[in-house]
Amino acid sequence: MKILVTGGAGYIGSHTAVELLNAAHDVVVLDNYCNSSAVALERVAKIVADETGRPAQLTAVEGDIRDRAALDTLFSEHDIDGVVHFAGLKAVGESVAKPLEYYENNVGGSITLCQAMQAAGVFNLVFSSSATVYGEPPEMPIREDFPIGVPTNPYGRSKLMVEEVLQDLARSNERWSIALLRYFNPAGAHVSGLIGEDPQGIPNNLVPYISQVAIGARKRLSVFGGDYPTTDGTGVRDYIHVVDLAKGHLSALNWMQGNSGVGIWNLGTGLGYSVLDMVRGLEKASAREVPYEIVDRRPGDIAECWADASKAAAELGWKAELGLDQMMADTWRWQSMNPDGYKKQGQG
Ligand code: NAD
Ligand code: UFG
């Protein structure tokens, strides 16, 4: 199949592009590089050529999902079978300061993309949603039939809004086949060390922060809260290896071959690890110390969050296979091979 991957130069998109190309799909990436580098796509092509022994069928288009004319041109030039839609803004704190940018990119951009898809007769869409749509769930693990919660920030609300737009869209025309994938906490990197998470400025998320402390780029980790009702008092999350997550998108595309309407799946491991588990995991992988101090809780954080991943296993035949040790070893390989991320090559 020929798959359009919006935001394909980003962290999850680049890993998904590798898996799509390895599975012999053609990939067209549309990205405006606002939070990524074109170098990531050169690395994707190298990984695929190394792993498969054939050149990657990868086309990179620089452009914006909010640009309807650019989308129309793309769909007229490429015979697209389905879209995996990652493009959007994702920093929770920034979304509070810049709500209009978040709604414009994430909600407006997704609507423009769907309009262009509809006009081009493309009705298969995989959307990157988030466990944030569950708000503060009543119990763990989180199942897909739990009530939608109240996200605490504009980023989370933008994901929920897009989910609702897509549900309405599927009701309007039975040709649509839409997968809403609710990610838990993506972490890790490709085993080659060539692609990984490359945050701009101070990382918002735990794993990139810890790895920057281990490499010496930051002094110490601030652990947000040591008094949660969890095993060691720190927050617990379901960290999923980004390569497992990427493979979940292929499973969703396969589901679309025989199904229409909306399918909703958690993509998580079903396991919860605390902040201190993650610190110890990276210390082990890097053989370096990760100094930390416990500080106040971060507003909007919940104590714990992990998935019931059985629906994806039953319906998509997908489950996470890579454990914490592999995730941390891959994180460290990426960090130590690319201490400045993709900027080392003077780009991005
Ligand atoms: P990322 O920032 O690395 O990737 C997003 C990509 O989209 C970037 O390459 C960026 O340049 C591009 N982009 C942004 N706005 C665009 C626009 N208007 N037009 C074209 N390209 C645009 O983020 P990621 O971690 O790879 O996340 C991918 C998706 O998954 C996002 O939608 C994000 O909200 C969602 N998600 C991420 C997480 C996470 O923890 N990483 C968790 C849940 C959901
Ligand atoms: N944490 C720290 N110090 C840090 C960063 C994080 O202690 O410097 C802690 C947090 O308090 C939390 C855990 O590490 O307990 C994970 O925090 P992240 O910021 O890495 O991830 P979150 O679970 O807060 O958020 C992630 C995604 C969001 C998504 C949300 C819910 O980043 O996009 O999961 O799915 F909305």
Q: Compute the distance from residue 345 Cα to the ligand 2 centre, in Å.
A: 29
Ligand positioned closest to the Cα atom of 200: 1
2-345: CATH number? 3.40.50.720
pLDDT on residue 62:
98
Question: What CA–CA distance (Å, rounded) separates 264 from 339?
Answer: 37
Among 103, 134, 155, 183, which one carries the catalytic annotation?
155
Q: Compute the distance from residue 287 Cα to the ligand 1 centre, in Å.
A: 31
Which of 185, 220, 227, 228 most suits a substitution to test ligand 2, by most atoms within 8 Å of the C-beta?
A: 185
Q: Which of 90, 85, 88, 87 lies closest to 155, judged by CA?
A: 90
Q: Compute the distance from residue 302 Cα to the ligand 2 centre, in Å.
A: 9
Which protein residues are within 6 Å of ligand 1, measured from CB? Answer: 6-7, 9-13, 30-36, 64-66, 86-90, 105, 109, 128, 130, 183, 186, 205
Q: Tell me the domain boundaries of the chain.
A: 2-345
Residue nearest to atom 6 of ligand 1 (CA): 7
- Residue predicted with more confidence, 258 or 104: 104
Question: For strand 273-274 and strand 261-267, is the pairing parallel, antiparallel, or unpaired?
Answer: unpaired
Eight-state DSSP code of residue 174: T
| Confidence check: pLDDT of 347 > 60 | no
Q: Could you read off the pLDDT of 204-230 as tens digits, one per residue? A: 999 999 999 999 999 999 999 999 999
Q: Compute the distance from residue 193 Cα to the ligand 2 centre, in Å.
A: 23
pLDDT on residue 344:
59
- CA contacts within 13 A on the Cβ side of 171: 6
Question: What CA–CA distance (Å, rounded) separates 239 from 318?
Answer: 16
- How many percent of the chain have pLDDT more than 90? 97
Question: What CA–CA distance (Å, rounded) separates 76 from 96?
Answer: 37
Ligand positioned closest to the Cα atom of 89: 1
Amino acid at 147: P
Distances (CA, A) of 76 to 7, 70, 183: 19, 10, 31
Confidence at 343, pLDDT banded by 50, 70, 90: confident
Residue nearest to atom 4 of ligand 1 (CA): 10
Residues 6+ apart with CB under 8 A from 314: none
- How many percent of the chain have pLDDT more than 70? 99
What is the average per-residue pLDDT within 91-113?
Answer: 97
pTM for this one?
A: 0.98
What is the average per-residue pLDDT within 113-130?
Answer: 98
Q: Compute the distance from residue 10 Cα to the ligand 1 centre, in Å.
A: 6
Residue nearest to atom 33 of ligand 2 (CA): 90
Q: In the numeric block, which tokens belong to residue 294?
A: 């416990």
Q: Compute the distance from residue 93 Cα to the ligand 1 centre, in Å.
A: 15
Q: In the numeric block, which tokens belong to residue 25?
A: 């799909």
Residue nearest to atom 5 of ligand 2 (CA): 206
Atom of ligand 1 at shortest range from CA of 13:
26
Question: What CA–CA distance (Å, rounded) separates 286 from 182?
Answer: 30
What is the average per-residue pLDDT within 187-198?
Answer: 98
pLDDT on residue 200:
93
Residue nearest to atom 34 of ligand 1 (CA): 90
Q: Is 155 a catalytic residue?
A: yes
Report residue 235: phi and psi, to 5°: -65, 145
pLDDT on residue 211:
97
Which protein residues are within 6 Å of ligand 2, measured from CB? Answer: 90, 92, 130-132, 156, 185, 204-206, 209, 221-224, 235, 237, 275, 298, 301
Ligand positioned closest to the Cα atom of 129: 1
Q: Could you read off the pLDDT of 276-306 as tens digits, one per residue? A: 999 999 999 999 999 999 999 999 999 999 9
pLDDT on residue 346:
42
